[in-house]
Amino acid sequence: MTVPEVLALLDAERDERGMRHWERLGAGTAGMTSYGIGLTRLRALARRIGRDRDLALALWKTSVYDARVIALLVDDPAKITREQAEKQVEELAGGMLAHVFASCDATLAKTPFVVELADQWVRSDDPVRRDCGYGLLYEASKFSGRKAPDEAFFLAHVQRIADTIGSEPERVRLSMGTALMGIGKRSAVLNQAALKVARAVGPIAFTSASGTCEPFDVVKHLTTDRLKEKLGVKG
């Protein structure tokens, strides 16, 4: 597909209610326009379009939020470079596109350098990079086999979260909590380490475009009966 064809497709799928909500965001839109389409629907459209490297790069140059989301979803992880990742992280509209860029089954998380990138970005002075780094760390927490980092790698990041979460902005704290949740589901040892930090931190308060949301309780996610049974954790 071409950029005009994708924009026509988005226009046909426009959600008037979503567009009104977008307009209410004001400066929060970072100058982008939107057809008001939800992420679930955008993912479905991206699957229809399929992997298309050239299209992804072209859509990323637009100022349409929905088109830029599609760009992230249809890019080819085998062809994404470190240089591209570093350039795009600077263009996430103040972090507005960070969720699709770095977490929630992100295309970037499928690149061969994702673990190294996550490890680097969580140490960055840039809060957007730290937000994305912890998002990628959550994605890495789901890896298995030879692709997965070892337990020591994750334990080190649990300690880093414990040492720094108190001084982080809301968005990064939430990403840290998500990473902590993912790490704590990997093994009994990591579960206990993550739980210790999660209990000390408590539920993580955050706001969304629709207002204040219920705090993110990492402890709740790491103490389910199903998870305890899976990991062989007692109590």
Residue 172 lies in a domain: yes
The reported pLDDT for the residue numbered 206 is: 83
147: nearest Cα among 184, 124, 118, 176 = 118
Residue 43 lies in a domain: no
The reported pLDDT for the residue numbered 25 is: 85
The reported pLDDT for the residue numbered 112 is: 95
Residue 58 lies in a domain: no
Q: Is 158 exposed, middle or buried (0-12, 13-18, 19+ CB in 10 A)?
A: buried
DSSP codes joined into one string, 139-178: HHTT--GGGSPPHHHHHHHHHHHHHHGGGS-HHHHHHHHH
Residue 212 lies in a domain: yes
Q: If you average pLDDT over every residue of the chain, what do you get?
A: 94
Residue 9 lies in a domain: no
Per-residue model confidence as pLDDT tens digits over 128-146: 999 999 999 999 999 999 8
Q: Which amino acid is at 232?
A: G
Domain count, the chain: 1
Mean pLDDT of the 62-67 span: 96
DSSP codes joined into one string, 82-148: HHHHHHHHTTSTTTTTHHHHHSSS-GGGGSTTHHHHHHHHTT-S-HHHHHHHHHHHHHHTT--GGGS
Which residues form the domain of 119?
112-235
Per-residue model confidence as pLDDT tens digits over 79-114: 999 999 999 999 998 778 999 999 888 999 999 999
The reported pLDDT for the residue numbered 212 is: 60
Q: For residue 209, name the pLDDT band (cuts at 50, 70, 90).
A: low
* Residue 136 to residue 165: CA distance in whole angstroms: 17
* Residue 223 to residue 227: CA distance in whole angstroms: 7
Residue 59 lies in a domain: no
Dihedral (CA of 108, 171, 168, 190) sign? negative
Residue 46 lies in a domain: no
Max intra-chain CA distance, the chain: 57
Residue 116 lies in a domain: yes
Q: For residue 211, name the pLDDT band (cuts at 50, 70, 90).
A: low
